[in-house]
Structure 1
């Protein structure tokens, strides 16, 4: 089965050039000329997305944040912007790579191939190191959480609680279960500590993302991470 690539750019010449070149390499290619169209085309489950940053309407960063709940495929940003801050923003909102215009077609194809190979190796999600929830990017390996490109400062225990809930998204954990898994059976303290940490985590997440409640309380049972 052919691997599917979605190209998103508002410049028709670039799309035409890339589409022809990638089809020659036997990829199935979809195109979108705006951010709004890109969100719709993402529902076709591409294996990789080439995403321009500077577009009218929704820009590439906004598109990436929006579609990360739809797709887990690699996203490579294509942009004329090459400042370090732009790179950090792109990776923080859920991008996997960043290539500056004008770019070498040979280099772009090599990166596409590398990302597809890497994604195939982690097909069963066993080796995936990033979780995406709307505006949040949880880097499990780096034990860091980004919200729209900004790092949310967390303690080791706070990250541990988030990791437990987010990895098991939708599953309810009691305060006792969370305490045992994060603090350990032999730790000094009790499950009341969990409620205090949840309160602090919610406050920190709210400072960076006011419109979303990531951790919900299941009354009489415990807590869960919202899908």
Structure 2
């Protein structure tokens, strides 16, 4: 299968290098030099997006926020920023992963492959699971409560999927982030804590039941 990859960066030399590399890897490569151009190319339905954070005008964070409701494919941020808060903001805006510049092409390639394989596994799932008022549809990657679809970000859904497919097993924050973050993800407890807080808030609109339980000093588990 030939995957479509959209690469967004204002560095033309980097775009040229990535274009050549992924073309040789048999990807269909689309490039954009700014946020506006990226927005226009979303209609081509890429399988994965590489998105530079630091672009003039509309930066990568804003692009991600604007397109996330329209695309479900993985988004990997390319960034020179190393501050934890910057990474947290990027992931909570709807991104799936980040890689710091300068980066190894082999590592970037490995991360992309990991995300694409994970998407393939998700698409093969047809099972639904029912927990009282809650229904998880693994094929469409949707969660319904009392016949209402929860408005979840991709990472929020990924946490629900991971925990619900491993019920009653306690996972620490670092392990959860590693599973939802893709290849060789570094644990980021602040991201997981905030995502679970958001999930609980959305669920509480329809039910008082705590589907994700906190096991103090250990982590979180899915409660049947």
TM-score, normalising length: structure 2:
0.62
Match of residue 187 from structure 2: none
Distance 2:142 2:71 in 1: 15
The answer to whether the Cα contact below 8 Å between 1:9 and 1:32 also exists between their aligned partners in 2 is: yes
Matches within 5 A, 1:123-162: 123=123, 126=138, 128=141, 139-140=156-157, 141=159, 151=194, 158-162=201-205
Matches within 5 A, 1:114-129: 114-123=114-123, 126=138, 128=141
- Could you tell me which runs of 5 or more consecutive residues in structure 2 were left unpaired when the two chains were aligned: 126-136, 144-148, 164-190, 210-224
The answer to whether the Cα contact below 8 Å between 2:96 and 2:155 also exists between their aligned partners in 1 is: no
Match of residue 208 from structure 1: none
Secondary structure at the counterpart of residue 70 of structure 2? coil
Distance 1:18 1:36 in 2: 20
Secondary structure at the counterpart of residue 81 of structure 2? coil
Distance 1:35 1:89 in 2: 18
The answer to whether 1:99 aligns with 2:99 is yes
Match of residue 88 from structure 2: 88
What's the offset of the Cα at 1:107? 0.3
CA distances 1:135-178 after superposition (whole Å, capped 9, x unpaired)? x67714269xxxxx89489699743245xxxxxxxxxxxxxxx5
The 1:129–1:99 alpha-carbon spacing in structure 2 relative to 1, beyond 3 Å, is farther
Match of residue 206 from structure 1: none
Matches within 5 A, 1:1-227: 1-123=1-123, 126=138, 128=141, 139-140=156-157, 141=159, 151=194, 158-162=201-205, 178=206, 182-183=207-208
The answer to whether the Cα contact below 8 Å between 2:5 and 2:27 also exists between their aligned partners in 1 is: yes
What's the offset of the Cα at 1:82? 1.3
The answer to whether the Cα contact below 8 Å between 1:77 and 1:95 also exists between their aligned partners in 2 is: yes
What's the offset of the Cα at 1:56? 0.7
Distance 2:17 2:195 in 1: 40
Distance 1:2 1:21 in 2: 14
Secondary structure at the counterpart of residue 72 of structure 1? coil
CA distances 1:31-51 after superposition (whole Å, capped 9, x unpaired)? 000001111111110000000
Structure showing greater radius of gyration is 1
Match of residue 186 from structure 2: none
Secondary structure at the counterpart of residue 139 of structure 1? helix
Show structure 1 runs of 4+ deviating over 3 A. 127-134, 149-159
Secondary structure at the counterpart of residue 122 of structure 1? helix
Distance 2:150 2:62 in 1: 14
